Amino acid sequence: MTPPDRQKHLFDNPSNTKRVLYALYAICAALLAVDFFYHRHISHPWEPLWGFYGLYGFTACIVLVLVAKFMRKHLMRRDDYYDAD
Amino acid sequence: MLTSLPPFIVFFIGALLAALTRGAVRKGILIGTPVVGAIMLLNATHGIAVQVEILDYTLIVHRIDKLSLLFGYLFHIAALIGVIYALHLRDTIQHVAALLYAGSALGAVFAGDLITLFIFWELLAVTSVFLIWARRTERAYRAGFRYLIIQVLSGVILMAGAALNYYATGSLAFERFDLQHAGSWLILLAFGIKCAFPFLHNWLTDAYPEATPTGTVFLSAFTTKVAVYALARGFPGTELLIYVGAVMTCFPIFYAVIENDLRRVLAYSMINQVGFMVCGIGIGTDLALNGAVAHAFNDVIFKGVLMMSMGAVLLRTGTINGSELGGLYKSMPKTAGLCIVGAASISAFPLFSGFVSKSMVMVAMLEQGHPWLWLMLLFASAGVFHHAGIKIPYFAFFAHDAGFRVREAPGNMLLAMSLGATLCILIGVYPSALYRLLPYSLDYVPYHATHVIAQMQLLFFSALAFTWLKLSGIYPPELPSINIDAEWLYRRGGRRAMCALAAVFDSADAQWRVTANRGLQALRSVAFRSHGPGGLLADAWPTGRVVWLVIATLGFVLIYNYISR
């Protein structure tokens, strides 16, 4: 066996995890704020909507995960499903 | 004229030499093969370099143009990275199979006619299956067989398509086909199988995760990209492909979210990336085709980095299930860092390679007036980041600490991953290095404020969604499980149908046997009467009686002839 690990690692400290999360929130807020100032060259009718890309990405991922969870209800089998006969 | 030597010959010779050598000499050959091949390719001139006359056919074995050259360079890079990654092995089968497989891929992209293409198409299947079997488990053995059957079937369909195409057009040339007759549809189907079109895709998610850690790295580089090349050569601007590609970008990401085997997650993600390429080929404008092949180039490298990092995890921990992993950043920090570079590239973060190629397909999609399909691709882009960009590194290297305290990946693996990661960043920062190699005219600037801001918003809010789902406990946990996909039809449904069919057949068969048996019995008793002991025909006749019989017969013939005159 490998010897027990006594070293403290980066994310053993919960406040480091918090820092990462706060950084993420700050970046998201900043990216939303950019939409107030920047007028993009658009090629799709939805693009000029405020916060379109952010909201689309956020919603897309929520929908993705919820649908995947729903699929799991019907499609998930034991991992030896195909071996068991 | 060494420069006109087809590169597959270099690889096949390399494979032969690797089979005959051991230790340091073989390592030299493994690395030397792609290097020598690349040097020869860099000095190659455009045009038909080698053609062979067989019977009445002219086989174009080595056709060089910008499209085939791009894939030629790519496969040399992939082969070099792959052999470095596999250098620590002492497995002759894997080393030899890898070189033969890479050589077959090169043979296929430089093939100028359908017969040559068919030969390498089948060689791809036959050589690569050994990378799966080299895992030496029952599961891998079976998965390898399923893989081989489907791959060989694709080749057979290609051959049938080529024959019908020859019948219809009188040409064996591997150029653009139009879908006017059955031959070209069959060719499209053959390409579609290797390209993992929806419902034809499960060979990939079935077999790749069962191969060895090094084997999967090679597998992920060649087969699907040869198919993308073949589509780009044979079916550019075929509108059907836009829709097929859009479906390919979307459906695998749902599976990827709930899949436990992290290499299978990457296999699903590969179908998703190939979907972007198929879309680009279907759109068929210069920008879209450039985007498709550029994305193929980048995908081989960043998917390679991701597959290599997961291979290293599998090698060190003995498992690749998300449910059993976590916290590996503590003991494999370098692998974790390199994996994140691959993850950022596949997610198309600005300054990483995926960004400069995927955006070309997206822009072309809007330019050609497909706003709804563009929304599908945008959904898929967010989904890629979600399942490949975040899920892979998160569940392997972070999440909860699963307690593994293992050694960092071997030096050769780290070197191979570093090479790949460097290319990801190099192409991302300096895209014109790649753009120069693209086959069609290009007037495109990836680093436009519009693109960069939009992409950053999309990605960071996807990350935000992941964070929220994870913190709120909605995110589905990694569970030891499998999910039913189209493969059920032949792995379960097919077997059940066969059993049902066999049951029907069995009763009919039993009926028939009884009847047939009775008939045989009757026949036997008749035969016994005449041929059994004491039977007329079974008796040994004395010579005298035979003589009388002959005389009687001859006499009869004589009299008959006399009367009939």
Determine, for residues B457 and A54 on separate chains, whether the beta-carbon distance falls below 8 Å.
yes
| HEC sequence for B529-560 | HHHCCCCCCCCCCCHHHHHHHHHHHHHHHHHH
pLDDT of res. B174 = 94
In this complex, the residue of B375, B398, B491 whose CB is nearest that of residue A11 is: B398
Q: State which residue of chain B sits closest to A25, comparing Cα positions.
A: B464
C-alpha closest to that of B204 among B255, B292, B143: B143
Q: State which residue of chain A sits closest to B460, comparing Cα positions.
A: A28
pLDDT of res. B2 = 57
Q: Is the dihedral of CA B322, B326, B328, B334 positive or negative?
A: positive
Name the pLDDT band for B529 (thresholds 50, 70, 90). confident
C-alpha closest to that of B392 among B458, B325, B456, B457: B325
| Model ipTM value | 0.89
What are the structure tokens assigned to B283, written together? Answer: 């759109």
Helix B353-367 crosses helix B286-317 at what angle (to 10 degrees)? 140
pLDDT of res. A1 = 42
Give the end-to-end CA distance of chain A in Å, rounded to a whole number.
Answer: 36
What pLDDT, in 10s, does the model give residues B23-60? 999 999 999 999 999 999 998 888 777 888 887 788 88
pLDDT of res. B288 = 96
Is-contact B428 B312, C-beta < 8 A? Answer: no
Helix, strand, coil % in chain B, rounded to nearest 5: 75, 5, 25
Chain B residues touching A78 at Cβ < 8 A: 480-482
In this complex, the residue of A55, A56, A68 whose CB is nearest that of residue B257 is: A68
Q: Please state, in angstroms and rounded to a whole number, the distance separating the CA atoms of residues B477 and A80.
A: 19
What pLDDT, in 10s, does the model give residues B60-78? 888 999 999 999 999 999 9
Determine, for residues B465 and A55 on separate chains, whether the beta-carbon distance falls below 8 Å.
no
pTM of the predicted protein model: 0.88
Q: Over range B132-142, report the average pLDDT.
A: 94
* pLDDT tens-digit profile, chain A (85 residues): 445 556 778 788 888 889 999 999 999 999 888 887 777 666 777 777 778 899 999 999 999 999 999 999 999 888 888 886 5
Is-contact B75 B6, C-beta < 8 A? Answer: no
What pLDDT, in 10s, does the model give residues B125-134? 999 999 999 9
Domain boundaries defined on chain B: 1-210, 236-483
Tell me the shortest Cα–Cα distance from B523 to chain A, in angstroms: 44
C-alpha closest to that of B396 among B272, B460, B308, B270: B308
pLDDT of res. A5 = 58
pLDDT of res. A85 = 55
Q: Is the pLDDT of residue B546 over 60?
A: yes
What pLDDT, in 10s, does the model give residues B284-341? 999 999 999 999 999 999 999 999 999 999 999 999 999 999 999 999 999 999 999 9
Q: Over range B166-191, report the average pLDDT.
A: 93
Determine, for residues A54 and B374 on separate chains, whether the beta-carbon distance falls below 8 Å.
no
Q: Is the pLDDT of residue B565 over 70?
A: no
